[in-house]
Amino acid sequence: MSLGGGKRSGKLFEQAKRVTPGGVHSPVRAFRAVGGTPVFMVSAKGAYLRDADGKSYVDFVGSWGPAILGHAHPAVTRAVQKAAAKGLSFGTPHEGEVELSRLICRMVPSVKKVRFCNSGTEATMSCLRLARGFTGRNGIVKFSGCYHGHSDALLVAAGSGALTLGRPDSAGVTPGAVEDTHVLPFNDSGAAERLFARRGAEIAAVLVEPIPANAGLILPIPGFLEKLRDLTGKHGSLLIFDEVMTGFRLAPGGAQQILAIRPDLSAFGKVIGGGLPVGAFGGRAEVMDHLAPEGPVYQAGTLSGNPMAVAAGLAQLRALAKGNIYRDLERTGAALEKMFREELGSAGWKDPFVRVGSMFCLFCRPGGEPVRKLEEARKCDTGRYARLFHGLLEKGVYFPPSQFETCFLSAAHGEKELEITRKALREAFRQA
């Protein structure tokens, strides 16, 4: 039995493997965690993906987050086409950068100044350098299961693809690169308190996904992030929220808005680029002014603030800033949750379902509680998830090819897509 993509996908994958390691350009796309052949896509529109064999899927990956308005949204596509006709890159400042920066500062009140880069990885990496340059300290704190991209200092106990592969510490990362990285369990205020009591004066920054979405979807226990805010403030460290996933997705002001916590710095990506490669970071003006050319912390990029990427981001954020999209996403999310719980119930499945706004995750952990930290995520039955994944895929519903990723809804998902998903789930639950 062949699982996953059809004939054409299979052929492309064979060719890809000859010229690219594992046949993919980012590990989780390879389907290693669920088995079978990855599906090669040829187009995407609204809530749907279309593969190389002509089959359509209701998409719950949304390019891993960016496609919050749905794929190929007319406003975003038009903006990119218009920008492309005016030149792909100038290598100089341009008006779009100013507009997008101002819009970001308006939507996220903790951000007084912002700098663009080209990926979420660059955003978090640059935040760390800035925090170290600003505080004159070396130590950083991260939490196990949180993923912040693939820069050396952060590739310890990371989530996402690193977790899927069971190789949280990458080969090629020197012990020196991570010796200043302290890893703590998420949702454990006591552990953070103990570390700060011993080493507080050495810690430049605490970096955290406020709502971790790279080891499944994990909700912060009330008081945990407040404790981090409190500890960093007391010890002169910076609190950095990695909102690459949650920024502009959960609310105009991201997770920090719904949690009412103000970090010193925030990292963005995904939604901010409307599907083009963009990252950004920003925060307190006196911290940001430590960046070159204003200050001593070097950070740069040939294509940073690329006119097409900025145009896509502007079109997408403008639509998000003015519409009722978050209210609509919450309504669709609530309907999806109700549908999931009904189908889980009638199938006799007792696996926890977690949702916040347009992000959700089913943990294949029969009878278990929703995951609160990485150690619990590790107990998931990944074989059960793989069977569920392939059951859905076969019925034309595209879920992330790993238990440890989060599913996304877009503004293009509606009743019709939920109905397709309900039927697919019913079958898939029976088979898994």
* 186-224 as b/e: b if 16+ CB within 10 A: bbbbebbeebbeeebebbbbbbbbbbbbbbbbbbbeeeb
| Shortest Å distance, C-beta 310 to ligand PLP | 16
Q: Which is nearer to ligand PLP, 124 or 332 (CB)?
A: 124
| Shortest Å distance, C-beta 240 to ligand PLP | 11
Could you tell me the two tokens for 164?
């899927």
Annotation says 289 is catalytic: no
| Shortest Å distance, C-beta 261 to ligand PLP | 16
Q: Does 117 bind ligand PLP (CB under 6 A)?
A: no
Cβ atoms of 281 and 115 closer than 8 Å: yes
Q: Helices H, strands E: what count in the chain?
A: 15, 14
- Side-chain-side CA neighbours of 296 within 13 Å: the count stands at 6
The answer, yes or no, to whether the previous bond of 293 is cis (omega within 30 of 0) is yes
Q: Does 124 bind ligand PLP (CB under 6 A)?
A: yes
Select from 101, 119, 237, 257 the one that contacts ligand PLP (CB under 6 A).
119
Annotation says 242 is catalytic: yes
Q: Does 205 bind ligand PLP (CB under 6 A)?
A: no
| Shortest Å distance, C-beta 35 to ligand PLP | 24
User: For tokens 């699982």, what's the residue?
Assistant: 3
Q: Does 149 bind ligand PLP (CB under 6 A)?
A: yes
| Shortest Å distance, C-beta 144 to ligand PLP | 14
Select from 63, 121, 306, 421 the one that contacts ligand PLP (CB under 6 A).
121
User: For tokens 């080891």, what's the residue?
Assistant: 215
Cβ atoms of 297 and 265 closer than 8 Å: no
Stretch that binds ligand PLP, among 143-151, 171-179, 217-225, 396-404 (CB under 6 A): 143-151
Q: Does 66 bind ligand PLP (CB under 6 A)?
A: no
Q: Does 68 bind ligand PLP (CB under 6 A)?
A: no
How are strands ordered across the β-sheet holding 238-242?
A: 113-117, 279-283, 265-268, 238-242, 203-208, 139-143, 181-184
Annotation says 169 is catalytic: no
Cβ atoms of 41 and 52 closer than 8 Å: yes
Cβ atoms of 162 and 30 closer than 8 Å: no
Report the residue number whose CB is nearest to ligand PLP.
120
Quote the CA–CA distance of 71 and 84 in Å, as a whole number.
Answer: 19
- Mark residues 267-306: x for contact with ligand PLP by CB under 6 A, - for none: --x---------x---------------------------
**From the candidates 48, 57, 142, 270, which is the catalytic residue?**
270
Quote the CA–CA distance of 305 and 110 in Å, as a whole number.
Answer: 21
Stretch that binds ligand PLP, among 31-39, 198-206, 240-248, 336-344 (CB under 6 A): 240-248
Identify residues 242-261 at the interface with ligand PLP (CB under 6 A): 242, 244-245
Q: Does 400 bind ligand PLP (CB under 6 A)?
A: no
Could you tell me the two tokens for 104?
């970001």
**From the candidates 242, 326, 373, 398, which is the catalytic residue?**
242
**Number of neighbours of residue 292 by Cβ within 10 angstroms:** 12
- Side-chain-side CA neighbours of 274 within 13 Å: the count stands at 25
**From the candidates 48, 57, 147, 326, which is the catalytic residue?**
147
Q: Which is nearer to ligand PLP, 97 or 243 (CB)?
A: 243
Q: Which is nearer to ligand PLP, 97 or 242 (CB)?
A: 242
- List residues near ligand PLP by CB under 6 A: 119-121, 124, 147-149, 209, 214, 242, 244-245, 269, 279
So which residues are the catalytic ones? 147, 242, 270
